[in-house]
């Protein structure tokens, strides 16, 4: 905090000069003292002057409303909202989220540092506080075919710039445990500067987890059981409880909050589609679920505010206290956590679910993010999956709704519930196509295709008909990336994502409406027994850092064994 400005504010307070803004007679919730008191909040400039009796040049009637520090998303990939950062602010500020810790590794996998700089420039044009981490694993695994890579030297330069909060999730667990030099150089570059390092360690435990943590990694958002969460808290990590569109681990992990306490727990969304945010909320959905399931309001709000601030070393953030930033949300109640009024830096940004700020013109899109679908020509034959009669069952994989874990399966011609999936390299025209069978998507006809395909964001297409799969690929070539649904030789619906094949810069409600249309079209191709959000599920089927099997453009990969599956590709 600027000392001179603090002195000026102190002089103003002593002289009785009115505050710029006062929230009058609200119910201030303090998760530290576990108390609620009726009071007023005085605000001068961007900071809180204090709680008590204050006069204000402008006043907000807070009677009957619960005041809290603004909510913090402790780990998010903004690109998964399909919105640019400037537009993303319009989605989450009305939900009470005032700050997010963002890892831009999606756009970095497409366009490297140029993509990261675009995200930063877009973020500067909105009042949401977006704190970027430097992506640590671009690509996510050494054998991946991404559009760009960030080596140790580039990572060190970004961390040294002072523009980033820390190092993003370290997904290369084998590299950490084997002492791979480049991985450790990146971690050391953050640790030596006193910057936080995010983790990603699904299923890791015991001495392997000890070794992973000992390198300086301090968080994990990949826990799927209370036991995993408890072990991490016991070993000094922060656990980020995730409620996204595909991965919804929050309910399963709440027992760990009761057994291990809330002090080392935070909330995150990780990856959440715009229609889900508009319908269910953002971090306020995490609050609602936690309280519905017996977590105290104080513990829940701590995980959404002060804990996240402490985890990432965010100064003067996370509490309603003198000198802290006036990032404040007023809730109608402490059950549904509907945000009535949201402020950042002492300015009202949203009210009754609507943004009050006028979005600036978004950042210009660099050439590398335009026309980003670059593939070699494909034919219908590329999507014909012949299986010789009498052949032994082929290795395949399955999906579990609400989870990123994909269990091993076996495919034979008489197997039920399977469809075809192909991943096509789309950055450098290499011609690589990985192919496999997947159970549980619920697709009975047609094809779904997407250029949102974690983390390398190649082009994934899933379906039953080779002709429809080919048409879906060509449709995404035509529109420059996005999501599409094809059935019976016709394109039913397409959502173009012209920025890197990942995002678009238009009002979020338009993007959400487009997402609803492609989901509705997808449902006409499904049997009603599959996943709820096939596009979000499809986007994670090619991420080779979460067990068990994942598809890459080089074939089916066994994440736990760290090798490609023999006969995993039936061609």
Instruction: Give the pLDDT confidence of 373-426 residue by residue, as tens digits.
Output: 999 999 999 999 877 666 688 899 999 998 999 999 999 887 889 999 999 999
- Assess if residue 26 is contained within a domain: no
Helix (H, G, I), strand (E, B) or coil at 95: helix
Task: Write down which residue in 314, 345, 380 finishes a domain.
Answer: 314
- Residue 359, pLDDT score: 79
- Residue 376, pLDDT score: 97
Q: What mean pLDDT is reported for the chain?
A: 95
The verdict on 303 and 397 lying in the same domain is no
- Residue 484, pLDDT score: 99
Q: Residue 260's closest CA among 237, 290, 229? A: 229
- Residue 13, pLDDT score: 55
- Assess if residue 325 is contained within a domain: no
| Spatial separation of the C-alpha atoms in residues 512 and 401, rounded to whole Å | 21
- Residue 9, pLDDT score: 53
- Residue 399, pLDDT score: 96
Number of neighbours of residue 236 by Cβ within 10 angstroms: 10
Read off the CATH number of the domain in which 113 is found.
Answer: 3.20.20.140
- Residue 1, pLDDT score: 46
CB 152 within 8 A of CB 170: no
Q: What total number of domains does the chain contain?
A: 2
The verdict on 374 and 254 lying in the same domain is no
Question: Helices 181-191 and 152-160: crossing angle, nearest 10°?
Answer: 10
- Residue 568, pLDDT score: 45
- Residue 449, pLDDT score: 99
| Spatial separation of the C-alpha atoms in residues 339 and 444, rounded to whole Å | 41
Q: Residue 379's closest CA among 431, 441, 317? A: 431
Please state the pTM of the whole predicted model. Answer: 0.94
Task: Write down which residue in 314, 332, 347 finishes a domain.
Answer: 314
Helix (H, G, I), strand (E, B) or coil at 368: helix
Note down the domain range covering 102: 70-314
Cα–Cα separations (whole angstroms), residue 210 to 4, 235, 441, 462, 547 = 45, 8, 36, 39, 20
In terms of Cβ atoms closer than 10 Å to its own Cβ (0-12, 13-18, 19+), residue 155 is buried
| Spatial separation of the C-alpha atoms in residues 233 and 220, rounded to whole Å | 10
Q: What is the DSSP annotation of 435-458?
A: EEEEESS-B-SSEEEES--TTTT-
Question: Residue 343 forms beta bridges with which residues?
Answer: 328, 348
The verdict on 300 and 382 lying in the same domain is no
Helix (H) or strand (E) holding 73: strand 71-76
CB 14 within 8 A of CB 49: no
Residue located via tokens 């530290």: 32
Task: Write down which residue in 298, 314, 330 finishes a domain.
Answer: 314
| Spatial separation of the C-alpha atoms in residues 498 and 452, rounded to whole Å | 12
The verdict on 382 and 450 lying in the same domain is yes
- Assess if residue 22 is contained within a domain: no
- Phi-psi region at 553: left, alpha or beta (left = phi > 0; alpha = psi -120 to 50): alpha
Helix (H, G, I), strand (E, B) or coil at 357: coil
- Assess if residue 49 is contained within a domain: no
Calculated CA dihedral for residues 98, 103, 107, 110, nearest 10 degrees: 180
In the predicted model, residues of the chain with pLDDT beneath 50 are 1, 3-4, 567-571
């Amino acid at each position: 905090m600027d000392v001179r400005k603090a002195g000026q504010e102190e002089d103003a307070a002593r002289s009785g000069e009115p505050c710029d803004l006062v929230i009058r007679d609200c119910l201030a919730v303090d998760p530290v003292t576990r108390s609620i008191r009726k009071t007023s909040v005085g605000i001068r400039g961007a900071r809180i002057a204090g709680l008590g009796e204050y006069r204000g040049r402008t006043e907000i009637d807070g009677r009957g409303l619960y005041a809290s520090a603004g909510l913090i998303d402790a780990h998010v990939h903004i690109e998964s909202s399909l919105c640019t950062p400037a537009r993303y602010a319009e989605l989450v500020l009305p939900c009470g989220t005032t700050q997010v810790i963002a890892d831009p590794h999606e756009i970095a996998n497409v366009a490297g540092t140029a993509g990261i700089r675009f995200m930063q420039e877009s973020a500067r044009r909105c009042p949401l506080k977006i704190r970027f981490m430097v992506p640590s694993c671009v690509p996510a695994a050494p054998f991946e075919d991404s559009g760009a890579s960030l080596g140790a030297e580039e990572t060190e330069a970004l961390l040294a710039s002072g523009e980033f909060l820390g190092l993003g999730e370290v997904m290369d667990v084998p590299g950490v445990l084997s002492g791979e030099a480049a991985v450790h150089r990146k971690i050391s570059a953050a640790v030596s500067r006193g910057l936080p390092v995010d983790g990603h360690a699904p299923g890791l435990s015991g001495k392997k987890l000890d070794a992973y943590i000992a390198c300086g990694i301090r968080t994990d958002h990949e826990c799927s059981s209370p036991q995993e969460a408890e072990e991490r808290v016991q070993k000094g990590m922060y656990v980020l409880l995730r409620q996204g569109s595909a991965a919804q681990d929050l309910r399963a992990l709440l027992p760990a909050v009761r057994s291990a306490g809330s002090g080392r727990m935070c909330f995150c969304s990780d990856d959440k589609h715009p229609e889900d945010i508009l319908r269910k909320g953002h971090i306020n959905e995490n609050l609602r679920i936690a309280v519905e399931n017996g977590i105290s309001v104080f513990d829940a709000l701590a995980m959404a505010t002060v804990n996240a601030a402490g985890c990432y070393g965010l100064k003067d953030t996370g509490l309603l206290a003198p000198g802290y930033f006036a990032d404040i949300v007023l809730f109608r109640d402490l059950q549904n956590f509907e945000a009535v009024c949201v402020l950042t830096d002492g300015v009202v940004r949203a009210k009754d679910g609507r943004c009050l700020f006028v979005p600036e013109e978004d950042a210009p899109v660099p050439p590398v993010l335009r026309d980003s679908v670059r593939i070699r020509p494909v034919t219908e034959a590329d999507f014909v999956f012949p299986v010789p009669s009498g052949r032994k069952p082929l290795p395949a994989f399955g999906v579990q709704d609400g989870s990123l874990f994909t269990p091993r399966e076996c495919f034979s011609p008489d197997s039920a519930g399977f469809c075809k999936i192909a991943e096509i390299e789309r950055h450098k025209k290499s011609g690589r196509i990985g192919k496999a069978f997947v159970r549980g998507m619920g697709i009975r006809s047609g094809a779904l295709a997407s250029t949102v395909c974690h983390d390398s964001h190649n082009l994934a297409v899933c379906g039953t008909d080779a002709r429809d799969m080919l048409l879906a690929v060509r449709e995404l070539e035509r529109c420059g990336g996005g999501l599409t649904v094809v059935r019976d030789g016709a394109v039913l619906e397409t959502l173009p994502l012209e920025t890197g094949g990942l995002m678009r810069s238009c009002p979020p409600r338009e993007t959400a409406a487009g997402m609803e249309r492609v989901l509705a079209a997808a449902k006409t191709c499904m049997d009603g027994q599959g996943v709820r959000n096939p596009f979000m599920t499809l986007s994670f089927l090619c991420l080779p850092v979460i067990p068990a099997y994942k598809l890459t453009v080089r074939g089916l990969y066994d994440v736990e064994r760290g090798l490609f599956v023999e006969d995993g590709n039936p061609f």
